Chain A
Amino acid sequence: MKDLLFKRFIQLIMVAWGVGTLTFILMRSLPGDMAYRLAASRYGQDNFDSSTAELIRHELKLDQSAWSAYFSWLGDLLQLNLGNSMVSDLPVMDTLSHMLGHSLLLAGVGMIIAILLAFPLGLWAAKYGGWADRLTLLFSTSVRALPVFVIGVLLILVFSLELELLPVAGFGTPAHLILPSLALAISLAAVSSRIIRNEAKRVFNSSFFEFAQIKGLSTRKAFQRHGWRNLLVPVIAFFAIQLITVVEGVVMIESLFSWPGIGHGLAHAIFARDIPIIQGAALLMGIMFVVLNTLVDIISYYLDPRIKQEFSE
């Protein structure tokens, strides 16, 4: 368990360093005089002069050499001192902590719906085969060819514009949550339902499952006692791989539905070149990624005694 957490901790450090370095390069490579650009974006094109620009230059330590600036940049990052937004001048931490809640809500609900969709579909296809199998394969293949934002657009077209059942975008009421989380869930379930179907088939055809039935357990009992656990271990490992899809999906879906989360914030910050927010948002997405991965690790650790053995040796 300790080794497992240590590995994830290293990953966390890598995330912080990678994001810090990249955003530093970004900061340095902005065209034109940074101080003037910032002064213009902060006070408006006509309301600043060279003294305001100098003030900003000093405030943001733009007059240092590259290396000392780099190390003070990383130092600030280590102390979680992310600075203020260049555009709104609000502390990055406040802005982001506000967004984080929304993103976690979307990701959480999306993943739950994905599980609720994928398991019945996968098990149904595995149990009945034939038409059920072909139908879910068709669903999975066609959805996989669609990027997640196209799924979102299609859902908006059908449910908001044509049927006028649900709001197009925004947040606040539970109704606003349905379409974004559904879009995320569908793109996740398309792949994972096939994995579940394959693993379920493997379990149904295995000798231990047959033996459980031969010794007199009903199919339902055999599945409860011997099926689930064996089915879940590889499926959860696959969920870990899909976490990338979750984080990427959150970025796309939030932008599409104007959901005020980190992904939306990141895309906006990149458009406005608001570097502290880019850094903070990328960092938080990275942390979210690592934390979710750690959770999956812990779940599979308790589910599969073999992993426990491997790490205790």
Chain B
Amino acid sequence: MMYTEANSPPTPTFRPTNRVKKAFRSATSQQWFGFAILATLLIFSFLAPHFVSVDGAEQDLGAILTSPNAEHWLGTDHFGRSMWVRLADAIALSFGLAALCVLTASTAGIALGVLSAWFPTRFGKVVELLTTILLALPGLVLVLIFAAIVPGSFWMLYFAIALIQWVEYYRVVRAICQPLIHSPEMEASQLMGFGRWYCFKRHLLPAILPQVLTIAAFGAANAILMMASLGFVYVGIQPPLAELGLMTVELFPYYSDAPWLLAEPLVSLAAMVLGCQLLGRRNA
């Protein structure tokens, strides 16, 4: 016991809460800015529908393409639906997809990365083959084909995006873990009889977490972009659901009558992506 404590004095045990506190303390101003953008959008997407009585599907053909006014704070679209609510729905949908993709892809990527660093011959080779297959095609093309299998399905999009995103976590995690697994401190822990789970928590997780957080932030941005791109070419989420890319195509024909309507989904999309990217940027 004396040995492990002597090796790395400051943090006796690894706790995720400590790590989060540390991340907050060491955040750069850029990261704070990104965090603020994302928090604002998230709060908007959850609270906005409660301020008005209509829902996103309610049409009012007597009041189409109105400019922002007291009743409809962001105007109405070509079916007279409230943009305020639809935008909140679309942002919530994007956040949902991003969160799901990041959670799934990072869990799978970390697990496979650590396991293939630990068992390079048995396990590592199989995973390596799998990544070669996945990386042979550009991600968007793969997602497009998956989207064709079950058209308009949120869950298929989620599956396809998570499927291509875990590879990045896997590669980075494996590269970090490979030297660590044969390091003296890790061997000492194992010789003293600590189990694999303890070794993972004590030695591997603290090393990979900062990297994983960066990948997660950019992965979230990519997932949002990917869904919007598919919506934009009309093969992603289908109407009448609100989705940022889909709203862009739907509102494009009305640009000359109502340019602000086109600007709303575009600005939201750019803000979400920018927020994620700023959050992921560490001081180099």
Instruction: Assess the B225–A147 pair: CB atoms within 8 A.
Output: yes
Distance A244 CA – B142 CA, assembled complex (angstroms): 12
A240 at the B interface (CB under 8 A): no
Inter-chain contacts of A270 with B (CB < 8 A): 144-145, 147-148, 151, 235
A107 CB, nearest partner CB in chain B, Å: 12
Given A145-B270, A153-B266: A14 and B138 interface contact (C-beta under 8 Å): no
B234 CB, nearest partner CB in chain A, Å: 6
A271 at the B interface (CB under 8 A): yes
Query: B-facing mask of A255-288, CB < 8 A → 1, else 0?
Result: 1100000000011001101000010001001100
B256 at the A interface (CB under 8 A): yes
B65 at the A interface (CB under 8 A): no
A57 at the B interface (CB under 8 A): no
Given A244-B138, A271-B234, A282-B137: A149 and B270 interface contact (C-beta under 8 Å): no
Given A22-B145, A144-B277, A157-B255: A150 and B137 interface contact (C-beta under 8 Å): no
Query: A-facing mask of B222-264, CB < 8 A → 1, else 0?
Result: 0001001100111100000000010010001001100000100
Closest to A285 in B: B141
A111 CB, nearest partner CB in chain B, Å: 15
B144 CB, nearest partner CB in chain A, Å: 6
Instruction: Assess the B136–A267 pair: CB atoms within 8 A.
Output: no
The contact of B266 among A150, A252, A271, A282, by CB within 8 Å, is A150
Instruction: Assess the B141–A266 pair: CB atoms within 8 A.
Output: yes
Distance A251 CA – B245 CA, assembled complex (angstroms): 15
Given A285-B138, A285-B141: A150 and B149 interface contact (C-beta under 8 Å): no
Distance A271 CA – B233 CA, assembled complex (angstroms): 9
A132 CB, nearest partner CB in chain B, Å: 19
Inter-chain contacts of B228 with A (CB < 8 A): 147, 149
Distance A266 CA – B147 CA, assembled complex (angstroms): 12
Instruction: Assess the A255–B148 pair: CB atoms within 8 A.
Output: no
Instruction: Assess the B136–A11 pair: CB atoms within 8 A.
Output: yes
A residues 96-154 with Cβ under 8 Å of B?
Answer: 141-142, 144-150, 153
Interface size class of B (residues with CB under 8 A): 35 or more
Instruction: Assess the B235–A271 pair: CB atoms within 8 A.
Output: yes
Given A29-B149, A266-B144: A147 and B229 interface contact (C-beta under 8 Å): yes
A85 CB, nearest partner CB in chain B, Å: 15
A118 CB, nearest partner CB in chain B, Å: 19
A161 at the B interface (CB under 8 A): yes
Instruction: Assess the A255–B232 pair: CB atoms within 8 A.
Output: yes
Most buried by B among A15, A149, A273, A289: A149
Inter-chain contacts of B235 with A (CB < 8 A): 267, 270-271
A280 CB, nearest partner CB in chain B, Å: 12
Inter-chain contacts of A12 with B (CB < 8 A): 136
Inter-chain contacts of B138 with A (CB < 8 A): 243-244, 247-248, 285-286, 289
Instruction: Assess the B137–A289 pair: CB atoms within 8 A.
Output: yes
Distance A18 CA – B134 CA, assembled complex (angstroms): 8
A19 at the B interface (CB under 8 A): yes
Q: Please list the residues of chain B having a beta carbon within 8 angstroms of any beta carbon in chain A.
A: 132-133, 136-142, 144-151, 225, 228-229, 232-235, 245, 248, 252, 255-256, 262, 266, 269-271, 273-274, 277
List 10 contacting pairs A-B, 8 Å CB cutoff, sorted by A.
Answer: A141-B274, A145-B274, A147-B269, A148-B229, A251-B141, A266-B141, A278-B148, A285-B138, A286-B137, A290-B136
Q: In the complex, given contacts A19-B137, A247-B138, A256-B232, what are 14 additional A-B residue pairs having Cβ atoms less than 8 angstroms apart?
A: A14-B132, A15-B136, A18-B137, A23-B145, A147-B225, A149-B232, A149-B245, A161-B255, A266-B141, A267-B234, A270-B144, A285-B138, A286-B136, A286-B141
